[in-house]
Amino acid sequence: MPTLAIEEVCCDFGGVVAVDRFSLAVEAGEFVTLLGPSGCGKTTTLRMVAGLERATAGRISIGARVVSDPAAGIFVPPEQRQLGVVFQSYAIWPHMTVFENVAYPLRVRRRSAAAIKEQVTAALRLVEMEAYADRPSPALSGGQQQRIAIARALVFEPQVLLLDEPLSNLDARLRTQMGDEFRALQRRLAITTLYVTHDQEEAMALSDRVIVMDRGHALQIGTPEAIYRRPASRQVAAFFGAPNLLEARVTACHPHGPDAFRLAVEGEGWHGECRAAEPYRPAEPVTVLVRPENVALNPGGITPGAIAWRGKVTETVFRGPRLSLKVATTARTIQVEATALCGVRVGDTVELGVAPEGAWAIRP
């Protein structure tokens, strides 16, 4: 039985459908992320799980207990759902010390003074903030406040931890550091987690599974690698970075291992092979996804079946560890991510190559 089950859940705000028949099962100890642009329904979904929004249809269960089922007249209030919640703003109370902030959920539940001291100390130790117990909350940095918010969410040992963009208020360096620290903590405690973000890299780095959402629907559910490398649609593919989406036609299709196929494809001024999740018929149109980092610059030898171009560099952008290039070929402009030490300049003529494993077929 999953720790959290969301079944055909809908949320309608006065005729505006925010979430439409959304389903998801989160297993014990799993870290699942709802990913999508603003307005896609991810935060509304999380708030329905928390009981902060009422679903208009469907069922939500935490463990064996149904907490929301409008058709059956069931709605369990937020404070009775055994959930820990961390918001984007952290909601740290400035008039309380660190200890009192973390202790608040236990005081509401009328735990004894001895139990509060023991559990708060243990929670602060988990996030390495035990030495700050008596410090006034306003004296904390953004990263420290985030740790306190997590400690407060964990202090009463919730069944599920819900997090709504908890890293978005931190600078880039601290966001990466805190994300890594939180993921390590989540794995150590094996706590079931539902996470909301619009940051693709954050979702890739933290999650066991990712749900890409748009307009209240789940476009694709899978592991971070599967969604990034093998998107089910052009919409999912385009959500991550700036991919090359190449229009082509299939010239041949062959099985390539379990549940995979090898396609020979031909586009305007180029041809080669790519991989696919389903069979295609000869002459069928196809969109070939090529991630910029999978384009080899001036490859020493062409891999059998590789897609190849020759073109002129029209733009370079230095990004520290890498160089972003635009290369104009006879077919189209190709986006390339190369090492910053590649030595390529605007105006240079270069060879490009993509191995078949670096190209993925999507139905247009």
CATH number at residue 323: 2.40.50.140
Range of the domain at 21: 4-235
Residue 258 falls in which region: left (phi positive, over 0), alpha (psi -120 to 50) or beta: beta
Residues 259, 203: one domain? no
pLDDT of 302 above 80: no
β-pairing, 31-35 vs 209-214, is parallel
- Lowest model confidence (mean pLDDT) among 35-44, 211-220, 299-308, 315-324: 299-308
Residues 265, 145: one domain? no
Residues 199, 256: one domain? no
- Indicate the average pLDDT of the chain: 92
The confidence score (pLDDT) of residue 89 equals 78
The confidence score (pLDDT) of residue 139 equals 87
Q: Mean pLDDT: which of 86-90, 162-166, 358-362 is highest?
A: 358-362
For residue 143, give Cα distances in angstroms to 70, 98, 184. 39, 13, 16
Cβ-contact 179, 206 below 8 angstroms: yes
- Cα-based angle 245, 250, 251 (whole degrees, multiple of 5): 140
Residues 248, 222: one domain? no
Q: How many CB atoms lie within 10 A of CB 190?
A: 11
Residues 41, 175: one domain? yes
- Per residue in 96-150, pLDDT (tens digit) is 999 999 999 899 888 999 999 999 999 999 888 999 999 998 888 888 888 898 8
Domain boundary, last residue among 235, 257, 284: 235
The whole-angstrom separation of Cα 193 and Cα 167 is 15
The whole-angstrom separation of Cα 150 and Cα 84 is 8
Residues 153, 44: one domain? yes
Residue 63 — pLDDT band, cuts 50, 70, 90?
very high
Domain CATH number, residue 145? 3.40.50.300
Q: How many CB atoms lie within 10 A of CB 217?
A: 15
pLDDT of 93 above 90: no
The whole-angstrom separation of Cα 215 and Cα 213 is 7
pLDDT of 176 above 90: no
- Lowest model confidence (mean pLDDT) among 104-113, 270-279, 310-319: 104-113
Number of domains, the chain: 2
Q: Residue range 41-63: average pLDDT?
A: 96
Residues 103, 81: one domain? yes
Residues 12, 157: one domain? yes
Residue 362 — pLDDT band, cuts 50, 70, 90?
very high
pLDDT of 204 above 90: yes
The whole-angstrom separation of Cα 244 and Cα 337 is 11
Residue 264 — pLDDT band, cuts 50, 70, 90?
very high
Residues 265, 247: one domain? yes
- Cα-based angle 235, 238, 242 (whole degrees, multiple of 5): 170
Domain boundary, last residue among 235, 268, 295: 235
Residues 209, 310: one domain? no
pTM of the model: 0.89
Q: What percent of the chain has pLDDT over 90?
A: 73
The whole-angstrom separation of Cα 304 and Cα 84 is 53
Residues 30, 145: one domain? yes
Cβ-contact 190, 159 below 8 angstroms: no
The confidence score (pLDDT) of residue 92 equals 85
The confidence score (pLDDT) of residue 294 equals 96
Residue 57 — pLDDT band, cuts 50, 70, 90?
very high
Domain boundary, last residue among 235, 265, 295: 235
Residues 184, 200: one domain? yes
